[in-house]
Amino acid sequence: MARELIDNTACEVVERLRSGAISPLDCLDALEARIAAVDGAVNALPTLCLDRARDHARRLMDKPPSARGVLAGLPVPIKDLTEVAGVRTTYGSPIYADFVPSASDILVETLESEGGVIYAKSNTPEFGAGANTFNEVFGATRNPWNTALSCAGSSGGAAVSLATGMAWVAHGSDMGGSLRNPASFCGVVGLRPSPGRVATDPGAKIDRLLGVEGPMARNVEDCALLLDAMTGESPADPISLPRSQSFLAAARSGWKPARVAFSADLGITPVDPEVAAICRAAAYRFAELGAVVEDAHPDLSEAHDTFQVLRAMSFASGHAENLRKHRDKLKPEIVWNIERGLEYTMADVVRAENQRSAMLKRMNGFFDRYDLLLCPATITAAFPVEQRYLAECAGHRFDNYVEWLAIVYAITLTTAPALSLPCGFTKDGRPVGLQIVARPRGEGRLLAGARALEEVLGAAIRTPIDPRTP
């Protein structure tokens, strides 16, 4: 039964859990066997907490299936930037290599209250920085479509665990594309929700709008299912939003967009020509659903300056103490980002905030005309795992280690929810993701539109793959 269970979708597994056909323990047994079979090749889930998971599963089984929450006992891995009580949480940093928190993040408590069973921590780059999943604690996570390649990041372990069947759904987080980039590289679905949709511990900046928590899965419905289990407000997170609807029901609603816009580059970044062509072909298939498809994008020209300032300020506020005490243990890209944040002036911050406000207004105006905005989720397909980041694309050399992420971080700045949907493969077999963007707080229509296109494209992983070694 183990392999059959692994091949099920998350929604199918939850239905079987609710009917009593299987138990959460059956799910954990299947995952343990799958992890033993494939994780050695990809290094996606370096920390397991199966004893803790089985204890939780048994407590859930004392309740009737109808009282076990949205997930009903479905196992969920947590990204190693988020604390789980009693489970090693390293943030991918040697500074925290042996850290075991005594309390869980709000997000984890929410998931567990909805029947999510936490069984593993997924690998991430140090403090989530760099969009390539490697660190000095656990090493590199490899792309299952070709283990010589990067799985992107920072939710790289999460994406790889999904593609290989070590998870049915997975938690991730996103500031500069950290849910969307690995989803694109690994052929899965990653959704960055609107800020506040998922409550979490605020950290150093309680009014943050850049970093959010969100779901990943192998298909749109499963992604919506996990979002349902993640949402809800908490008094400990002052920007959190109340649970307002079933996102799974929204995904299944049958809504289709009337008018969508496609842009290969959002007017701000180079894009690999093959990736651009694959995404354009996928986007224009919305016409088969009756939508008008046009080439257009909002003005996001200030995105580079705005994101560089606000990201650096975020790193400075969160990690200045680590720089002071543990500079020798931080990777050079993080040192650069913290120092840059400490060097910016109040005038820089004022300029960045004003620019972000202007982009938000223009984005909302854009959505008065279009239902969805489409573009590549990542400007390239997967590159060699040893390459720390993408240094150049289409003849353009980037100024720093995050500029290659502009096509996703520009959307981050507008607070709009965005999803990476598998939309095809390069000629040499690397997955490509299409970024689908909706109006801020428009996750319902985003999921419905993505599900409709998913059916047309047929590019989602039907069953997990075994890691492929070149």
Cis peptide before 357 (omega within 30 of 0): no
| Contact between 197 and 164 (Cβ < 8 Å) | no
- Measured between alpha carbons, how far is 167 from 10 in angstroms, rounded to an integer? 9
What's 464's DSSP letter? P
The count of other CB atoms within 10 Å of the CB of residue 321 is 10
| Contact between 176 and 409 (Cβ < 8 Å) | yes
The pair of three-digit structure tokens given for residue 326, joined into one six-digit string: 């543990």
Residues 6+ apart with CB under 8 A from 22: 1, 5, 13, 16
Name the active-site residue from 79, 121, 256, 331.
79
Strand blocks (E) in 44-186: 47-48, 75-79, 117-122, 169-174
- Measured between alpha carbons, how far is 379 from 398 in angstroms, rounded to an integer? 13
- Measured between alpha carbons, how far is 108 from 183 in angstroms, rounded to an integer? 21
Would residue 361 show up in a list of annotated catalytic residues for this protein? no
| Contact between 132 and 152 (Cβ < 8 Å) | yes
What's 467's DSSP letter? P
- Measured between alpha carbons, how far is 429 from 145 in angstroms, rounded to an integer? 8
Closest listed residue to residue 408, CA positions, set 438, 452, 360, 375: 375
Would residue 154 show up in a list of annotated catalytic residues for this protein? yes
The pair of three-digit structure tokens given for residue 113, joined into one six-digit string: 């209250």
For 91-104, give one letter per residue: b (16+ CB within 10 A) or e.
Answer: bbbbbbeeeebeeb
For 38-49, give one letter per residue: b (16+ CB within 10 A) or e.
Answer: bbebbbbbbbbb
Would residue 79 show up in a list of annotated catalytic residues for this protein? yes
- Measured between alpha carbons, how far is 401 from 403 in angstroms, rounded to an integer? 6
- Measured between alpha carbons, how far is 442 from 366 in angstroms, rounded to an integer? 14
Q: For residue 64, give the 3-state DSSP assignment.
A: coil
Name the active-site residue from 93, 104, 122, 178.
178
Residue 112's H or E segment, with its range, is helix 106-113
At how many degrees (to 10) do helices 303-326 and 406-413 cross? Answer: 100
Name the active-site residue from 104, 122, 150, 154.
154
Catalytic site residues?
A: 79, 154, 178
